[in-house]
Amino acid sequence: MAVLHNRVSRKELKERLQNETEPRTTISFYRYLPIADVPAFRDKLYVDLSALRVFGRVYVAGEGINAQVSVPASGFGALAEYLRGLPGMEGLRLNVAVEDDGKSFYVLKVKIRAKIVADGIEDPSFDMARKGKYVDAEAFNRLTEDPGTIVVDMRNHYEFEVGHFENALEVPSDTFREQLPMSAEMLKDRKDANIIMYCTGGIRCEKASAYLLHQGFTNVFHLEGGIINYANVVREKGLDNKFRGKNFVFDDRLGERIGGEIIAHCHQCGKPADTHTNCRNEGCHLLFIQCAECATQFEGCCSPACQETIHLPEEERQVLRKGLDGGVKIFNKSRARLKPRPGE
């Protein structure tokens, strides 16, 4: 009987990854397509990807598949052939990471979700088949030369904070489901303008383009392959790079450099910085931006209270963590400072 879940400890998996001698390639991909039997598709995918020594996160739903994974460099071709051979996955785009140390993932997780992107859309007439037009890197640059073009960032505020395209419109929110109606409201007086949506790898902006068309907008585009593909094409073709700063990514790297600028600031001292980190206090785990000096001063913590906590005996830390929801997780833009930790 096939093994359908990981059964090895996290410690051992990380040790195995560190001991690998062959470099790994980190890639992301998605495809909106109807999947009739999601559990069966999920199980087959887990078995087949495990055989290819793939690590990472794969989400499967009735509307399609979304994945961020790594594969041994020598197995990239076999993985591409396998994925593109699945029904409905022909010609699948594989976005290769811009900066990659090969250590982005250490275990394979294939999970079933209600949707591959949580969107909050309940209208049964909404149809992903009616979506905006793709634009590649060259078309994106050309369209953005027109001052009447509106470029809309469909990522979370903490992603926008460290990097975005020139003159991009931010839809300040913690979640994509909040952003969709917000974007339509913000643009309601420009329904006939050229609107280009973008995101990290294309999955969110593709759905956002379909949403705006559903709301009556007429000239909606979305950046093919997102920021990741844009950066690779710009580099390969020597095009003008219109992205400023760093691209936030949802793996252990937490970011990859696209533009040379640092456009964000340390959340503790205000110095230029764009390195995201999670607070070392397990009961907090806040995601925030911290410069090297503050990382040393606060020992990787977001506040003096959390810094004190990490030096307590494990038994006391466990008591403090009881009843907590795992922390704030992200820096909330609606607050003037970091949310106080318990005890402050």
Question: H/E/C letters for each residue in 221-252?
Answer: EEECCHHHHHHHHHHHHCCCCCEEEEECCCCC
Instruction: Give the contacts of 227 (CB within 8 A, at least 6 positions apart).
Output: 163, 198, 199, 200, 201, 243, 247, 258
- Name the catalytic one among 199, 284, 302, 306: 199
Q: Give the chain's mean pLDDT.
A: 88
Contact predicate 73/25, CB 8 Å = yes
Is the domain 10-112 a CATH 3.30.70.100 member? yes
CATH of domain 133-234: 3.40.250.10
Domain positions in the chain are: 10-112, 133-234, 265-344
Percentage above 70 pLDDT, the chain: 90
pLDDT tens digit sequence for 60-101: 999 999 999 999 999 999 999 999 999 999 999 998 887 667
Q: Is the dihedral of CA 322, 325, 330, 333 positive or negative?
A: negative
Residue 314, token pair as written in the block: 């494990």
269 carries an active-site annotation = no
Task: Write down the pLDDT at residue 249.
Answer: 74
pLDDT tens digit sequence for 243-284: 999 988 766 677 788 888 999 999 999 999 999 999 999 888
Average pLDDT over residues 148-176: 93
pLDDT tens digit sequence for 15-33: 888 888 899 999 999 999 9
